[in-house]
Every structure is written in structure tokens, then in C-alpha cells.
Amino acid sequence: MVTPATAERRRFADELIAIGPDAPTLCTGWSTRDLAAHVVLRDRRPDAMPGVLISALSGYTEKVQRRIAGRDWADLVADVRGGAPLSPTRFGPIDRLVNTTEFFVHLEDVRRAQPEWEPRELPADLVDDLDGALRRSAKMFARKAPAGITLAPTDGREPIVAKDALPMVTVAGPVGELVLWIFGRQAHARVGYTGPDDAVETLRTASFGI
């Protein structure tokens, strides 16, 4: 059985091949080649992963990623598609837990950096997994937010209080759009806001993250 995470990984690889190695992405300063290299590093170079979160180690991570990015494009995307050769993430439940949002968000990082993009109609099983991921991680991502946040799915799911504080802003949209929003892609997420104007404006540009 192909998990939603694996299906998104394959769609991501397809999009990379279709658009080429030099297209822009929503990841500031990164082309599609850079983003593909980041994914391969994440899958295959655990020794270099700490530098993604720890600034003191970032130099090594960047060096490894640059080396990966210099590889032949077709081979690089083949490794994106294939994933980690020996990893717990090859088991379905773990794949769904750690890779669903990763590949959904990065696919949209590519799609939404191009002109005239439109949101996709997402498969039901992908929406289910994104909803679960959003409920597990929303409070962690929103903990430093400058205002209270309630995420209000418009596709029949219960609201999530990501940060219980005043002033409170309600962010409404489909689950996939709310995932993109809390992952820092506010400018490219199709959502609506309810709340004080100044609080809404601060959240439009707030930095979310671990």
C-alpha cells in the first residue's frame, strides 16, 4: 500500500523533473536543485542533519548539501523519489508520521513559486494525515506567535487552538492551506482571517518554526 507521504514524494519528484533544476521555490534563496539536495540530505545523510536546527553546525550541513546539489539532476531526483535506502521511514506508519507534511509542503514550495498556480484537490487520505499532523504540531509551531491563533478548518473538522492568548485571531481554510500557513508560507496559503487588524497583520509575517 502506498502511503499518502510516499504518494506526495512521488508527486514532488515528478514536479522537479517537469520544472527543471533552476526554477524558484518558496524556500528563500533555494532553487529546485537546492530543495532536492535538502531532501536527499535529510533522507541519506543523518550526520549532516543537526545543522538544519543548530546554527553552530550549519556550515557542515551547507557544505554537504552543496556537494549533493552538484550531482547530475536526473540522479538527484531519482534519489529524491527513492527515499532513504535503509531507514525506519520505509515502514508505512513511520513514513506517514515523519514524511507527509515534509513532502506536501515542499511540493507546494515548488508549485506556488511558479506563476498562475492554483491549489490542488487533495486526496482524502492525504487530508486525514495532514489534519493529524496539524493537531500534533500546531502548538509547537505557534508557541512564539505574537497573538493567539485558532485554526478553523473549512472542510468539516474541529478547530484547533494553536495558541491560547489575546488578542485571538482565527485563521480559516482547508486543512492543507492551514498546514502551509503554520509552516510559514502565510503569503501563499489561501486562508481567511478574523480578528483585530493589527494582530492579523503581525501574523501574516510572523516567523513560525521549531
Give the model's pLDDT for residue 86: 74
Give the model's pLDDT for residue 210: 58
pTM, full prediction: 0.94
* Residue 77 near residue 16 (C-beta atoms within 8 A): yes
Q: What backbone phi and psi angles, to 5 degrees, belong to 148?
A: -70, 150
Q: pLDDT digit string (tens) for 102-143?
A: 999 999 999 999 999 999 999 999 999 999 999 999 999 999
**C-alpha triplet 157, 8, 5: angle, nearest 5°:** 70
For 160, other C-beta atoms within 10 Å of its C-beta total: 20
**Ranges of residues in the chain whose predicted pLDDT is under 50:** none
What is the rounded distance in angstroms from the CA atom of residue 142 to the CA atom of residue 122? 25
What is the rounded distance in angstroms from the CA atom of residue 72 to the CA atom of residue 36? 12
